[in-house]
Each structure stands twice: as C-alpha cells, then as structure tokens.
Amino acid sequence: MTASRVTVIGGGFAGVECASFLARRGHPVRLLEMRPVRTTDAHETDRLAEMVCSNSFRSDNPGNAVGLLKREMELLGSLVMEEARRAAVPAGDALAVDRELFARAVTARVEAEPLVELVREEAPSLPDPGDGFVVVATGPLTSPALSGALLAALGGSHLYFYDSVAPIVEASSLDMSVLYAASRWGKGGGADYLNVPLSREEYETFVGELLAGEKVPFHDFEKAVFFEGCLPVEAMAERGIETLRHGPMKPFGLRDPRTGREPYAAVQLRQDNLARTHYNIVGFQTKLRVGEQRRVFRSLPGLANAEFVRYGMLHRNTFLNGPAHLDRLFRWKRDGRFFFAGQITGVEGYLESAATGLLAGATLAQLLEGREPVPLPFSTALGALSRHVSESDESNYAPMNVTFGLIDDTGVPPTKDRAKRREEIVRRALESVALWRDAALGLPVAAGAGKGGSS
C-alpha cells in the first residue's frame, strides 16, 4: 500500500465516481463495499451503484438544473454519466436507464480498473487514514455500526428522513387495451410512457382506497420526516383530493390518441429495462403494506391482473448536518484527512450524489498531485451543491436536489425572458467548469482513459 492511497467507504454512486476519477489520474484507491457481507433494507443485489428507487436520472434538458449538472459532470469525465448514456431507455426528455444493465456495467468498470482495490467488507468505524485520505460515501443507508461511530466522531446528532420506493410491474400482466402510449406534451419519442386514464369517479375512488390502505407503522421513537421531493403517494393524497391530480397523476399534456382528449387523471408507467418487460409506476413510492399495494394498485384501470416485480417500500435515510461539519470541498472541518460524499452530506438524488463524489475526487487529485485545491464557483451546478452542503442554515438543514435557485446568478444580465436568462446561466456555468477543469486539474480528463475504462 502506498502512503498516498485513498480509502473510499461505500460503493454507491458517490463512491464509484470518486474512486474512478482518482484511478484515471493514476492514484490508487481502496474501495470498501459491505454488500453482500452485510445488506440493507433497500438493496437487492451486491452490484455497485445499484438504483434502489427510481430508474430515472430526471430531466436531460440542459435548460433544467439537473440537465445542466449532467453536462458539467460529463466535462469532468463522469463514469456514472457514461454508463447511464449507454444503458438509457426511452423516457421523454428525461434520462432513465435499464437499472440492471447500468449497475452491471459500472461494477465491471470498477472491477477492471487496476488501481482500484475493491474490498467486500463492512467498515464498522472510521479507519485511520495514515498518510492518506478517507472518503465516507456510505450513502443514506449507512450501517448501524458506522452510523454510531460517525455520531460519536462528529459530536452531534445525525439527521434523517424517510424515503420510499415505487413498485415495478410486469408488462405482460397489464391490459394494453386500456392503457395508451404517450409522453407529456409529446416530448422525447412522443410515446415513451404507458398511461392509465381515469375518469373523475375512478380517480376519487382510487384516492379513497389509497387513504384507507394500511400502512407500515413507524417505530415509537421515530418521527415521520419525509423528503418533499419523494413523498409517499398516500402522504400526498392526505393533503387534499386534488393533490395527486396535480402531482404524479396529472393528465395535462397526455392526450389519449383514441379519444383526442386528456383524461381527468392519469398514472404513468415508465420503462424500467431495455427488454420492455418491466415498468415502474411513476411517482407511486409508497409505505402501504404489500397486501394493500396489490389491492389498491390493482384497482387502477388496466392493472387488475398486475404482477409485481418489486413492491414499494419505505426506508430511513441518514444524513449529517453538512454546514456544521463540512467545508465547500466536502472536507471534514475537524480533520482534513476525511471527506464525505453522496447523500450522507445532505444532497438528494442519484446525480447529485455522484456529483459530490466527483468533486471529492477532484479535490483529492489536486492534493495528491501537490496543489492547493481550487473550489468550483457557485455559479455552476456542481459549485452550487457544495454551497448547499457547506453554507446552508445549520438549524434548518434538509436534503436538496440541485435547482437554479441554488446557482449564483450574480452578473447575469436582468431580463423578463426566463428562458434566455437560464440559457445565459447554463452557458456561463459550462464555460466556468471547462476553465476550472483545465486550470485546477492541469488537463481535460478523458473519460475511460484508465486501463479499466471501456471504449
């Protein structure tokens, strides 16, 4: 083992992105992943970067903040973005993937990288970095042992919220005479989703069944704190009869080609694998009990005989109070040999998690190569995530996706044209990332440049 070796704990999106970035620049990495030695409540395989919730990376439109984040990551040679493009399935203007193909490909890339030592064991405590560095990228499903060790080391309580997973159904079990193919407003291929049309009576009956369904209870000592961007479908329904019709069941832009009209409400099913055999019920993350999921969701038109590949579920996500503990380089304020990356820092989403791993890797590369690390400007999507993690209000810190509201737009000429303003923010951000990459990292990073990269 060399003195400069980096230990990365966690083989999720942040961990593999960090390890891959460092290896491509010639730095050895020891990557610890506890599965399959110890599993979690949400994972089903031992593959790296397994997608446990949706199979979507959300919008691929650069005019959207997460679309901008994708392009910035690609400028830095993101492994996750490379493999996501290769495993893409139709999803309108979103980037969604065949989750099994994606995770297999990421795992194969990491296993083939000679500078990454993949170790399948749990890290029950923070290892001594010695003369190197440690990156904690254990994600929201950090093991109880390490979670306790972090709690003791950080000297403050962890925060947490509950996340839920949407069901996946067999395509062959759906009644295609009831469903119709369409993308909202004709985006993407124009027919990338299957849609379940509901009349007003059907919609109101379904909401009633949803509210009456038996849910998985919380433990007495736990508080039901949900991430606003991923609420259980029944929690949304509790906010009022019209909430779902303006959320995951909104019919707007989903004209039924058989009638020429929009239904009163609609449920969308998104392709979950390239073979088109599995479909994800979009936005239907849930904490209903398994038997209730079968009963309630089979009451939807066309789903009477639906066979479930995976049921929805609820799991607790742990994150630390980023502003209290981390600087804008994702470095622990108390001990600069330790970095944190991924959802444990208080970012939300697959892409955001991977992005923080990429940023931690870029910072470490600069340190290992004898340079003082240069942070990205807050006028970029990547830089905006670092500001959220390091400069938000400690007393009210909560997980967050990347948004234009996080990106510093100081100096962008004022205009009433929102689209033009965002175009300028995007142009400036991409230019800044490219300039930072060349100045801070020396040369552009070619994706897949290491021996373990695929062409």
Domain residue ranges in the chain: 6-158+320-441, 165-316
Assess whether pLDDT exceeds 60 at residue 156: yes
Topology alike, domains 6-158+320-441 and 165-316? no
Assess whether pLDDT exceeds 90 at residue 319: no
Tell me the mean pLDDT in the region 254-272: 95
Residue of 57, 55, 67, 2 lying closest to 28 (CA atoms): 2
- For 6, 285, 349, 375, 381, the CA distances from 387, given in Å and listed in that order, are 24, 29, 16, 10, 10
Tell me the mean pLDDT in the region 445-455: 39
State the CATH class of domain 6-158+320-441. Answer: alpha beta
pLDDT at 451: 36
Are 37 and 25 in contact by the 8 Å Cβ rule? The answer is no
Assess whether pLDDT exceeds 60 at residue 225: no
pLDDT at 162: 65
* CATH tag, 165-316: 2.40.30.260
Measured CA angle at 61 (ends 266, 22), to 5 deg? 120
**Token code pair at residue 105:** 């490909």
pLDDT at 53: 76
Are 368 and 362 in contact by the 8 Å Cβ rule? The answer is no
Mean confidence (pLDDT) of the chain: 89
Tell me the mean pLDDT in the region 146-161: 78
pLDDT band at 52 (very low <50, low <70, confident <90, very high): confident
- Backbone phi, psi, residue 387, to 5°: -70, -40
Are 120 and 112 in contact by the 8 Å Cβ rule? The answer is no
pLDDT band at 416 (very low <50, low <70, confident <90, very high): confident
Assess whether pLDDT exceeds 60 at residue 380: yes
The SS3 call for residue 45 is coil
Q: Please indicate whether residue 357 or residue 146 has the higher confidence score (pLDDT).
A: 357
Assess whether pLDDT exceeds 80 at residue 140: no
Which range has the worst mean pLDDT, 97-106, 227-236, 377-386, 388-397?
A: 227-236
Which range has the worst mean pLDDT, 106-120, 385-399, 417-431?
A: 385-399
